[in-house]
Amino acid sequence: MWHFFPGKYMPSYQVNRALTQAHYGGGEFAEILEVAGNIDPDNRETFNIAWLNKGNEVYEWAEDYENKKAFVSARRTYLRAFNYLRTAEFFMNLHDDRKIKTYVKARQAFINATKYFDEKPITVEVPFEGSFLPGYLFKPKGVKNPPVMVMFGGLDSLAEELYFGIGDHLMERGIALLAMDGPGQGAALRLNHIHSRHDYNVAGTAVLDWVLENLKDEVDTTSVGIAGVSMGGYMAARCAAFEPRFKVCMIFGAVWSYYSVWAGRSGKHPLAEIVQHIMDEDTYEGVLKKLEGFTLENGVAEKISMPTFIMHGGGDKQNFAEHAITLEKHLTCEHKMKIVPDGESGAQHCQVDNFMPTLDMYDWIAEKIHA
């Protein structure tokens, strides 16, 4: 992975993340590099301010385009504003007064952009334990009743972010994407205060039941798959294990044991405050205790019955490739695994340094879900 900040993995990772998403409308290379040039990698506040300033600036440009009824330009500009504001919110301290305001503005930027999509997404609210899980149904243009992939993001992902790249590649293959904020994610966490849980299959089944009941006129309800990226690799696998009605499973970054990921870290890790937030825990020790349940051990992986694709990076520094290798050994279903060799472009966490190696995953999923 290219390090804009030599020797500084996390801020460099975020720059790569934005650059990769820029291919799909989630940024502009020059703007991203301008932001990066204003960041001191040893000062988190400079990261927050640089992305926030650019996000706010681009949001204003989008509003100007909208006021001039230049709706195509407004759409493209709101999408960039969303991603810059999302990045700004990511590392803000939980007690920072700007955090929720920035998240709400980022989400609104995305919603504003969708008003001008050729194929407007359907806003989804899946009832869940006294509240609801929000999401968006993105459908491929000109395809009647397409198969659909239900997808959860990762620790730091928002449902909106799944549109960039993942949504494109699925829709190009005639597959709809139901991008969801599950427990501990996006608006489900920030606005509805629904925290993460090891039995993610409860949320997966709730979403599937809602699809079967409410989307019969929109998608092929006999061809519903499950997917997850990053920490979502655990969530997708868990849902697949306990919900055999899913037709295919796409694991975009494997997680065999999320406890083992964090047991090797400390409370000073850059993401530690975030994982405490999603788990509703005040202490790192409390997080580790809850994470003991986030595992595919003890026969869980063996329960997965549908065709499953595992995508992983050989140089992944967040969830090591051993997670994918161990999971693959325990699968008894039809499956395929692709690990991008360490040192090659696309070998980093969830191919943030190059999405192109993931094309094989989408081709395989398309073959199985259309079958």
pLDDT in tens, 58-97: 999 999 999 999 999 999 999 999 999 999 999 899 899 9
| C-alpha–C-alpha distance, residues 335 and 364, integer Å | 10
- Among candidate residues 102, 93, 43, 52, the one with its CA nearest the CA of residue 276: 93
- Cβ-defined contacts of 260-267 (< 8 Å, 24+): 261/318, 261/319, 261/323, 262/287, 262/288, 262/291, 263/288, 263/291
190 and 270 belong to one structural domain: yes
Domain containing residue 320: 119-370
* Pure H helices in 193-302: 201-214, 232-242, 258-263, 272-279, 284-291
Identify whether the C-beta of residue 183 lies closer than 8 Å to the C-beta of residue 133. yes
Let me know whether 127 and 269 are in one domain. yes
In this prediction, the residues of the chain whose per-residue pLDDT falls under 70 are: none
* CA angle, residues 114, 151, 347, in degrees to nearest 5: 105
Looking at the fold, whether 109 and 153 belong to one and the same domain comes out as: no
Q: List b or e across 155-182, with b for residues whose CB sees 16 or more CB atoms inside 10 angstroms.
A: bbbbbbbbbbbbbbbbbebbbbbbbbbb
- Pair 108, 123 in one domain: no
Domain boundary, last residue among 66, 94, 117: 117
Q: Looking at the structure, tell me whether residues 301 and 238 fall in a common domain.
A: yes
Do 109 and 199 lie in one domain? The reply is: no
Active-site hit among 223, 230, 257, 260: 230
| Residue 226 sits in the same domain as residue 279 | yes
Domain final residue pick, 117, 142, 171: 117
How high is the pLDDT of residue 156?
76
> HSE (CB half, 13 Å, CA atoms) of 303?
17
Q: Supply the DSSP symbol for 136.
A: E
CATH number at residue 350: 3.40.50.1820
Q: 238-284, pLDDT tens digit by residue?
A: 999 999 999 999 999 999 999 999 998 999 998 999 999 999 999 99
CA-based torsion, 77, 358, 231, 193: positive or negative: positive
Q: How far is CA 227 from the centre of its chain?
A: 10
Say which CATH number the domain at 87 has.
Answer: 1.20.1440.110
Q: Are residues 73 and 167 in the same domain?
A: no
Shared domain for 46 and 194, answered yes or no, is no
Give strand pairing partners of 137.
Answer: 122, 178
Question: Where among 86, 117, 148 does a domain terminate?
Answer: 117
C-alpha to C-alpha distance for 65 and 235, rounded to whole angstroms: 39
> 145 and 69 in one domain?
no
Q: What is the reported pLDDT for 219?
A: 98
Q: Tell me how many domains the chain contains.
A: 2
- The reply to whether 28 and 107 lie within a common domain is yes
Residues 111 and 196 placed together within one structural domain of the fold: no
- The question of whether 260 is a catalytic residue gets the answer no
Q: Are 39 and 91 in contact (CB under 8 A)?
A: no
